[in-house]
Amino acid sequence: MRSALIQFPARLTPCFRPLRALQSPAVFTLQLVPAGVVTMVAPAERANFFMGKDTFQSTDPAYLKSLVDTLEAPGIVMEGPFTQLFGIHDQPVLVVRKAIYVHANSANETFGRPNTTNPVCGNLCDYNATSGMAFWGFVSACWKTMPGLKFCGRLRN
């Protein structure tokens, strides 16, 4: 499966700058997750694990809680390890994720996203008329860790 090429509005470019710091040989994947659906994965050969997955449809309660934690955090959040992440069962995975909120003209703004946000996301993903901000999606990085690694808390910046 190949990564889909999506044209994002130029005003969103600054939203992806935090991922530059995560570029490392240790990183298993970098992902763009507009509306909570994985649409771009690098490197492309690992896309089969993640492409098209709606993160809000996870059956792992800890993973769903981590999505809410990320939505509530003002910065980057690192959580895990997760042992059943979208078909990766051989090694635990840590996730570094940032929720991207952007200025919107209305609740109907799509920002060129190919999907709408899953209703499971709730009001954290809704358009905020007071601030004029709306949830665009996530940027994230995943990497495999050592087997036996135990959860030791969340890191937020």
Quickly list DSSP for 35-52: TTB--EEESGGGHHHHTT
Task: Tokens 């996730």: give the residue.
Answer: 95
- 8 domain residue, yes or no: no
pLDDT at 6 exceeding the cut of 60:
no
pLDDT at 134 exceeding the cut of 80:
yes
Q: Report how many domains make up the chain.
A: 1
- Among 87, 130, 85, 81, smallest CA distance to 107 is for 130
**In which domain, by residue range, is 52 found?**
25-146
- 124 domain residue, yes or no: yes
End-to-end C-alpha distance for the chain, whole angstroms: 34
pLDDT at 129 exceeding the cut of 90:
yes
- 18 domain residue, yes or no: no
Q: Provide the pLDDT for residue 125.
A: 93
- 7 domain residue, yes or no: no
Sign (positive or negative) of CA dihedral 65, 71, 74, 78: positive
- 98 domain residue, yes or no: yes
- 32 domain residue, yes or no: yes
Sign (positive or negative) of CA dihedral 48, 59, 119, 69: negative
How high is the mean pLDDT of the chain?
77
pLDDT at 27 exceeding the cut of 80:
no
CATH code of residue 100: 3.30.450
Please write the tens of the pLDDT for every residue from 32-90. Answer: 999 999 988 877 777 777 788 899 998 888 888 999 999 998 888 888 887 766 656 66
